[in-house]
Structures are given as structure tokens and as C-alpha cells.
Structure 1
């Protein structure tokens, strides 16, 4: 027996009002770009074509590859709180080993790069310390590669680890200074460099360290990237020039005094970077207290 379904019938129970509203808003936005900025179908086709090529080259989801178009739109945290990303990082690898506080991220004996001592505090909106906060920490090696992401013979948790803040909310760890890098699989795609240059961007990401912070009192866990103040790549960041908000830039200092270098057990100049996280807890005010009040 053949069942004939009315082709004009749509089950009302399956209609998602939010999806309908968002689709209309998206098309309205495209119409404004068409009328006010001269957006053409060829423009859209060019962008879609590049994204498809990048997806084929990297295997990353299209939503992540399109981050240069929207990354700065999805950043939580305002009113004095440290902004956070609402986009999953494709370079996160779960299960990193715990290190001491202060401690050192796992690294190879001959890990290339300038030593870096990163430190700071994790505070709530009243400027009070969050003791026992878990910091997941990771960053790219000196060649721009992330361990555990591609099979490049590097140990899975190289330059990855987690620690717990002390009673004063402090953290401190030693690692290698990250550097600016370009994703080689993306850079190899025809037309990507030209497209980036056309909108005033480099194919490079500025140097940064990834953090994920967890604590029972947090309204939401924090995740994002901390950059280094004065990095010239920040304004032309491939992912988005507004991504490295001033509130996400750590102060950094290069130390070159031989006595100081030897006292810290290094063989060459090293850097220090200080950064305080101000995060909203269940008892925090709507507006965060200044760091000076801590």
C-alpha cells in the first residue's frame, strides 16, 4: 500500500521559531550588505570556496575555519571581567598531566625557544583569590605545532599541563615563550594568503598561551588565549584583529642580566609574563572590582 503525503504539509510541532527568526535575520543582514556595501553572489561564492579548500586541507570543521569572519563576536565577559571565548579550540587535548605550582610544563630536553616564567592570580569580582582553581595550560612549540594534534613524533603532552592555584589564588609555571605562527595546512591553500592580505590581515597568529580555568564557584568555566602586550602581529591576527582584547594581553619583560639568568637556572636570557584573571563567581557583583582592590 502506498501512502501519499501532502507535499505542502509541514508538521507545526517540528518548527523551531528561533531557527526561523535567525534565518530571517541572517538574510536581512546579507540584504543590507548587498544594498549598502555592494555584496555580490561571487563574493559569497569566493569565501565559501576558500573555506571548503581549507576544510579539505585541515579536516577542521567549517565553523572553526570561518573564525576570521566572526571570532570577535563570540567573546563573553564584560564589566571588568576577563573576556572568554565561546568557541571550542581545535588544539585542546584533554588529560594533560598535573604539574606543581610553581612548576614546569612538560617539554623535551632540547626544547627550542626562550624560557618564560608566567605568573599571576585568579580573582573573583570582589578582588578575592580563588584558591584551588584548576588551570589547563598549553601552547604551540617554537615551530608553531601543537603536540597531540598532528603525528609529528612529539610527545602528546609536550607543553601541556594543569595546576591548581594556591591559597592566594596564585599560579606560576615555567615554559618556552610562544612565537607567532601560521597554520601550514591553511597557508598552503591557493588564494588564502591573498584573501587575508585583501582585508589587512597576516596568515600568522600572534604568540599566545591557551588556558582553561575551572572552579566550583565560577558561573561558567573560563577558556581562551592570553597574548603578550606589544606583539606587532596582534593588529593583523589571521583569526581577527579584535580577538586580542587589551584585557587579554599580559605584561612581559626580557631579563638579560647574567647573574639573574644563572640564579633562575637558565643558560640564556629569559622572559617573565604576569597576568591576573578576574572571573565572575556566583557571589560576584555585576561589575568587577579593580585589580588594585585585591
Structure 2
């Protein structure tokens, strides 16, 4: 484990994720009137569910005060994006994608950064000269759900390095390391050379780590590639791709793995591994 890994604290990662969310998501959200009826329905349902848990499990004041203290510390640590993305987002994505006809999606997670450098359809993700890890050739085609190719489709791609760290969220890593926006060719095809990422722990030195330890859970995410795939006239697909036989694929802490998202790389003739995976996008309804 490198010195960089040791310095990637939960507080630093949480603060970065919170700042990104406030800057990117809030700014991008359309200005619209809040539907008070929906707020009433959802807020009442959540509060009622908490009441039911307290009653059915006969929670004590000591347990209530421990929860209250923990909720305060989540905010102080800047870990609300981490908590929500790890334990809540996969259900939001499931509901939002219920009618999708094309490829499967999954959670975005807290480490997406817009504006990654544009790259050609056959390219290598930006990386350090001595980037550790097994080389991976990742290729495929972007089509519409009806099978027609989507020329110039965009694939925003980001991933952890071999230490499980993300550029812009851990110290000592170049700004756009293992991040890029690939522009597919006139048939929607792409071929990206990168490295095969490793599994990693979500930060455990903050409030989320305390919850994991107290509940006897594990903090690991399986190795994965992140992608946002988009094309004019089609819904954007946000997804993650995992690796067959990899650690934690069967028990991801974020519950984000789906069978359709598991890759099965094969050894490449030029060294490393290679895999083909195609994306089908739903037309905008």
C-alpha cells in the first residue's frame, strides 16, 4: 500500500465528494417548483418507517442518542454523499431505470467529475508513465436500443487506480489520471486501453466506517469501471462494469452489481487482458 493510499482519509474524500456534489449537481439541477404533495408523501413515509423501526425493535434512549450523535458526525465528516451513494442510491437507480429497454445501468457513486479530456475512439486513458496494474483493452459499440449504431456517441469513463484511489479525490495523483471522454467513431465503436482496477475499501476512518464496524459489515467495493454513455436523442446511461471472479462481486458493500454488468476479460495477444462490451441506449421518450 503506497504512502498516497495512507493519506487518502475519509475526511478528505468526504469533503471532496461534498464539494463536487454542491458545485456540479446543485448547479445542474433545473430550477422548478417543488411539488409539496410529493415532499409530504415521501417525507411522511420515511419518518413513519423510522417510527416503525423504533417500535418494532423497541429502541432505547441510549440507542437513539447514539444514532443522533452518529448522524451529526456524518455531516461533520462530510460523508453524506458517501453514505447515500453506498447504501441508498442503488434503490433510487432501480426505480428510475424500471422502464429501460437498453443496457443496464447502476449507481454513479461519489467520484464522478464532469469535463474530462476528450479522446479519440481508439485511445489510451490518461495515466502516469509507470501506472501500476494489468493492461486492459476495453472495446465495443454504442447503439440505439433498436440496434442502429450511434455515430459520435460519448463515453465518459473514470476509475480507481491499482491502489483503489481516484484522481481529484486523493493526494498525489495527476488531475485527470484514468479519466477521459471517448468520442466513438462513425459506427459508434470505441477501443480504450487502460489498466484493470483493483477492489477498494470505502473510507473507514470516518462516520461510515464506524457504522460498518459497529454492524460487523465489510467495507469493500469490487473492482469496476465507471461510465456515462450518451448520444443525441437518447437517454444517458450511467453504469459500472465489474470483473468475473473478482473479490466482492457477490457482496458489494454498495449493492450495485448486476449480472449483466460483469465482464469476462481474456488474455490479450499483446499482453494484459481484453474484453468487448456493447451499450444500447434508449431513445428519449
Tell me the CA shift for residue 236 of structure 1. 2.3
Q: Does 1:91 align with 2:114?
A: no
Structure 1, unaligned runs of 5 or more: 1-13, 262-268, 284-294
The equivalent residue for 1:67 is 85
Residues 249 and 43 (structure 1 numbering): CA distance in 2 closer, same or farther, change over 3 Å? farther
Q: TM-score, normalised by structure 1?
A: 0.73
Does the residue aligned with 1:174 lie in a helix, a strand or coil?
strand
Query: Which has more helix, going by share of residues?
Result: 2
Q: 1:188 maps to what in 2?
A: 205
Does the CA-based 8 Å contact 2:212-2:218 persist in structure 1? no
Determine whether 1:122 maps to 2:142: yes
Alpha-carbon offset, residue 197 of structure 1: 7.8
Question: Which of the residues 23, 34, 37 maps onto 2:43?
Answer: 23
Is the 2:142–2:280 Cα contact (8 Å) retained in structure 1? yes
Does residue 231 (structure 1) correspond to residue 246 (structure 2)? The answer is yes
Name the structure 2 match of 1:248: 261
> What count of residue pairs does the alignment treat as equivalent?
249
Aligned pairs for 1:117-266 (under 5 A) are 117-150=137-170, 152-183=171-202, 186-189=203-206, 192=209, 195=212, 198=215, 201-218=217-234, 220-240=235-255, 243-255=256-268, 260-261=269-270
1:6-30 alpha-carbon deviations (Å, 9 max, x no partner): xxxxxxxx99222222222223323
Higher alpha-carbon Rg? 1
CA drift at 1:110? 0.4
Shift of 1:206: 0.8
SS at match of 1:74: helix
Once the two structures are superposed, residues 36-60 of structure 1 have per-residue CA deviations (whole angstroms, 9 ceiling, x without a partner) of: 5656666565455445445444x34
Query: How big is the shift at 1:113?
Result: 0.6
Match of 2:278 among 248, 251, 276: 276
Q: Secondary structure at the match of 2:239?
A: strand
Gaps in structure 2 of 5+ consecutive residues: 1-33
Shift of 1:213: 1.7
- Could you tell me how far apart the structure 2 residues matched to 1:48 and 1:127 are? 51
CA shift for structure 1 position 250: 2.1
